[in-house]
Chain A
Amino acid sequence: MVSNPSDQETEIAIDVQGIRKTFGLLEAVRGISFQLKRGEFLTLFGPNGAGKTTLLKILSGLTKPSSGTAVISGYDIVEGNPALRSEIGVISHSACLYEDLTPLENMLFYAKMYSLESPRERSVQVIEEVGLKSRMNDRVHTFSRGMLQRLTIARAIIHNPSILFLDEPYTGLDQHAAILLKEQLAQLHTEGRTVIMTTHDLDRGLEMCDKVAIQVRGKFVCFESGQDLERTSFLQKYFDAVESNK
């Protein structure tokens, strides 16, 4: 473990070394290693069942790796330091919101769980940021998929995390909601957050990324800079990688 992480001015936000995860005989993640600097945006592509969600669950501390290490913002994920969880915001397949509560009540609850100093003020602020202030006191179960996703973003950033993990955030969104989400993600990126996003959408995935990776059958078969990446050649590379690892 890196000592006294809060004092460190390290450039490396995420340092993953040889992470593996097995479920019985199934090896979901097979020795993945990479580094991300602060403020970098990594888009992770891969077919279904490639282990992308498992990798994000490991990095967010929800699942322990079978072997390997990962240091995030100076904290070793294996040690499960609660301070690490304050550094991370996660948008997963689930909204993690209580449907019978209002957005304000949901945010208030999470603000209290993150021990924020002014929970009410921060809750209102973050709801405003995602454009749901007018629906702040309606129950969440009345929300559309797009509104729910925006509220999920609010939940993920309420504690102002420096690192965001987004697991297929565009799934199930209509065009309008997807554009709104894209704008919000761009905003989060420009605020200097380190982001890892998994997606199947090549266009949206390549738009914002600084780094791009392809994960197939539990391992990275490609990890390169996303700058000046040509879409057609990347698409070919993606299909080649998937085909060769069948």
Chain B
Amino acid sequence: MREYFNHVKAIVWKDCVTELKTWELFSTMFVFALLVIIIFIFSINLSIVNSYDVGPGILWVAFIFAGTIGLNRSFMLEKENGCLQGLMLTPADRTALYFGKMISNMVFLILMEAMILPLFMIFFNVDLVSHLGPLLIVIFLGTLGFCALGTLLSSLSSHLKTREIMLPILLYPLLVPVVIGCVRMTGEILAGKALATQLKWIGSTACFDIIYIGVSLLTIDHILEE
């Protein structure tokens, strides 16, 4: 088991070192998310529309669109120079490869989200600080679901020529339950309701997270095999 965790840790370490040298993933995701938010600011008249009504949806659209770019790039790094083949030749369990990539994706996405949140707060004039605790829980659950499913599907689509197109087509429909739950919970939290009143949504989002991870663990072996 210790060996298993060491393999997961090694993949996360490798991805973080690569990212620290290039800032490729983070900068692309951050700029894209920022652009999405700016486009919405200019397209919505916030003097008529309540920020608390439209804000949660826009925030999650920005996270998910930007995250998709990150997912696409993440597995492309493994395909370049046949690195995925190199990984497959090591004695590491295939699920350790999956968890390693999933955790790396989560780290970069959470960093990007942490940078976007203050900007979102300024642009939409919403108070996130007083709801930060519950909001972080919701963001964690949503990001976990996104990365759990996204990592699996990006490994699947990385074998395809049309990978950039295929990933969102496969990912978004399957991600709908998590997105709905996260947008609803974010809206309610910003409206001042306690997270305890959102148990139904928390439960369903957490359930989908577990299902995504479970399905990934069952199928990753076949997906990674050439």
Category for how many chain B residues contact A: 20 to 34
Provide the bound-state CA to CA distance between A155 and B86, in Å.
Answer: 9
Contacts A57-B226, A105-B17; is A115 near B3 (CB within 8 Å)? yes
Which of A41-49, A59-67, A127-135, A223-231 forms contacts with chain B?
A: A59-67
Which A residues form the contact surface with B (CB < 8 A)? 57, 60-64, 82-83, 85-86, 88, 90, 92-101, 105, 109-110, 112-115, 139, 155
Instruction: Tell me which residues across on chain B come within 8 A of A83, comparing CB atoms.
Output: 91
Instruction: Tell me which residues across on chain A come within 8 A of B82, comparing CB atoms.
Output: 92-96
Known: A99-B80, A109-B14. 12 other contacts (CB 8 A): A62-B85, A62-B89, A63-B225, A85-B89, A90-B89, A94-B86, A100-B18, A101-B21, A105-B14, A105-B17, A112-B9, A113-B7
Which B residues form the contact surface with A (CB < 8 A)? 3, 6-7, 9-11, 13-14, 17-18, 21-22, 77, 80-83, 85-93, 225-226
Instruction: Tell me which residues across on chain B come within 8 A of A60, comparing CB atoms.
Output: 89
B7, B77, B81 — most chain A CB neighbours (10 Å)? B81
Partner of B91, one of A94, A105, A114: A114
- Determine whether the beta carbon of B86 is less than 8 Å from that of A64: no
Partner of B81, one of A62, A88, A97, A114: A97
Instruction: Tell me which residues across on chain A come within 8 A of B7, comparing CB atoms.
Output: 112-113, 115
- Determine whether the beta carbon of B85 is less than 8 Å from that of A101: no
Instruction: Tell me which residues across on chain B come within 8 A of A101, comparing CB atoms.
Output: 14, 17-18, 21
Provide the bound-state CA to CA distance between A64 and B86, in Å.
Answer: 17
Question: Can you list 6 A-B pairs with a CB-CB distance of less than 8 A?
Answer: A94-B82, A96-B81, A98-B83, A112-B7, A113-B10, A139-B21
- Determine whether the beta carbon of B88 is less than 8 Å from that of A62: yes
Partner of B77, one of A86, A95, A98, A109: A98
Provide the bound-state CA to CA distance between A98 and B85, in Å.
Answer: 12
Contacts A112-B6, A115-B6; is A97 near B86 (CB within 8 Å)? yes
Provide the bound-state CA to CA distance between A93 and B85, in Å.
Answer: 11
A93, A99, A100, A101 — most chain B CB neighbours (10 Å)? A100
B103 nearest CB across to chain A (Å): 15
A144 nearest CB across to chain B (Å): 15
